[in-house]
């Protein structure tokens, strides 16, 4: 993985790389008067399908970051009814000024619309305008828009280019990177889809300024995940700076996005199609997806469900003899500090098991979980005893509810 730093400016104090871990540069402590890049660029290294992730302010106004990746000067921008009034005209102005023809496709907003019916609205618009194989689809929105646009791009005429412009924190640090695309099914989340990589990812941090606090917290869940599975020093940094992150301090949020994307890019470069190590990125997701499905898509935000799911994973890890009670308490405290639920809804043991049984990590009918050997190191295991799983479910619903 290559890291490219462009255009530096004075920062209030977030150091760029000073040490290495897992082959990646990292920072553990702020250093005053350091220089912070105006725009940072990471590369997801996938050979001839490698692509850049640009992170910074004002990127929507820079068509030069998009145009070189177009097969023809024609795009279809897929967005939703919430994001369109905020950023669609701005993007259209930038692109048309660079000589690009833009077709907007505006969908309803929400996880409840991540389905075949809504996906077909994208296909209807593309077919109605006679979009061609070289027409690029641009996802302007959060994870739902990115996942559906990517799946549409993978399917339309058996594959057209697409670009990710994530506008939520969760999508900037997670769903826009790595090529997972798809839609939900009533029996399971993201069960229908494809691995299909974008040409470029533009994470404009200015879009986070219009994000509701609940959505911001949902994104922080995925950032916490990276610390828990990969980098204990980053986890400690998050504990020290959670207040600044929730206040959208520019230097803090940019560093957190950069470090999160850095970790994910490394993992995806090593295991694009989740045949091995990439599964660790699903910490909390087996429990979390069951929450989303059981409660009805959209009632719990994905990040909220993952936050509660990570507490459950930490609890299970303690019961497996890997984490101490203090480490579980520390994990729960950070989830709470991010404004996330640390208590799971009471779905009932059989319902939990039913929905978790549809998890994509199931092999030969056996549930596999991402747990923690220690804070900063994840493990994938199919050897969680049924009694341990049931005790975890009970503890994380009843004990959490009474705390």
Helices (H) and strands (E) in the chain, counts: 13, 14
Which stretches within 8-105 are classed as H helix? 89-97
70 three-class SS? coil
DSSP secondary structure of 180-201: EEEEEETTEEEEEEEE---S-E
Handedness of CA 218, 181, 200, 123 (dihedral sign): negative
User: Do 231 and 148 meet the contact criterion of CB atoms below 8 Å apart?
Assistant: no
Instruction: Return the beta strands (E) in 145-303 as ranges.
Output: 162-166, 180-185, 188-195, 201-204
Active site residues: 158, 180, 222, 264, 274, 278, 282, 285, 289, 302
User: Do 121 and 107 meet the contact criterion of CB atoms below 8 Å apart?
Assistant: yes
For residue 401, the 8-state DSSP code is H
Q: Which of 332, 303, 172 is nearest to 239 (CA)?
A: 332
């Amino acid at each position: 993985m290559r890291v490219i730093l462009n255009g530096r400016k004075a920062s209030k104090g977030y150091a760029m790389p000073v040490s290495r871990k897992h082959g990646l540069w990292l920072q553990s402590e702020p250093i005053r008067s350091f220089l912070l890049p105006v725009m940072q660029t990471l590369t997801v290294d996938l050979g001839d399908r490698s692509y850049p992730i640009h992170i910074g302010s004002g990127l929507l106004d820079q068509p030069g970051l998009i145009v070189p990746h177009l097969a023809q000067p024609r795009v279809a921008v897929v967005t939703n009814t919430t994001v369109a009034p905020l950023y669609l005209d701005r993007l259209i102005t930038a692109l048309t000024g660079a000589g690009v023809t833009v077709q907007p496709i505006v969908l309803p907003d929400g996880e409840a619309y991540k389905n075949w019916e809504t996906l077909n609205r994208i296909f209807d618009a593309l077919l109605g305008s006679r979009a061609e194989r070289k027409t690029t689809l641009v996802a302007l929105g959060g994870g739902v828009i990115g996942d559906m646009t990517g799946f549409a791009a993978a399917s339309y005429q058996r594959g057209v280019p697409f670009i990710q412009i994530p506008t939520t924190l969760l999508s900037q640090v997670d769903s826009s990177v790595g090529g997972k695309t798809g839609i939900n099914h009533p029996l399971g989340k993201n069960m229908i889809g494809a691995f299909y990589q974008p040409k470029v990812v533009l994470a404009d941090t200015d879009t986070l300024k219009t994000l509701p606090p609940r959505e911001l917290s949902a994104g922080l869940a995925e950032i916490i995940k990276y610390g828990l599975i990969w980098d204990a020093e980053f986890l400690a940094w998050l504990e020290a700076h959670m207040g600044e992150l929730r206040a959208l301090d520019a230097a803090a949020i940019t560093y957190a996005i950069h470090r999160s994307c850095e970790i994910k890019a490394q993992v995806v470069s090593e295991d694009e199609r989740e045949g091995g190590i990439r599964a660790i990125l699903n910490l909390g997701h087996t429990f979390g997806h069951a929450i989303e499905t059981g409660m009805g898509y959209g009632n719990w935000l994905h990040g909220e469900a993952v936050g509660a799911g990570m507490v459950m994973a930490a609890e299970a890890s303690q019961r497996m003899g890997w984490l101490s009670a203090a480490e579980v308490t520390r994990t729960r405290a950070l989830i709470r500090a991010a404004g996330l639920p640390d208590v799971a809804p009471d779905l009932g043991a059989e319902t939990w098991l039913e929905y978790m049984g549809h998890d994509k990590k199931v092999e030969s009918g056996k549930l596999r979980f991402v747990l923690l050997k220690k804070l900063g190191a994840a493990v994938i295991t199919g050897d969680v005893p049924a009694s341990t799983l049931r005790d975890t479910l009970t503890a994380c619903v009843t004990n959490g509810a009474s705390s």
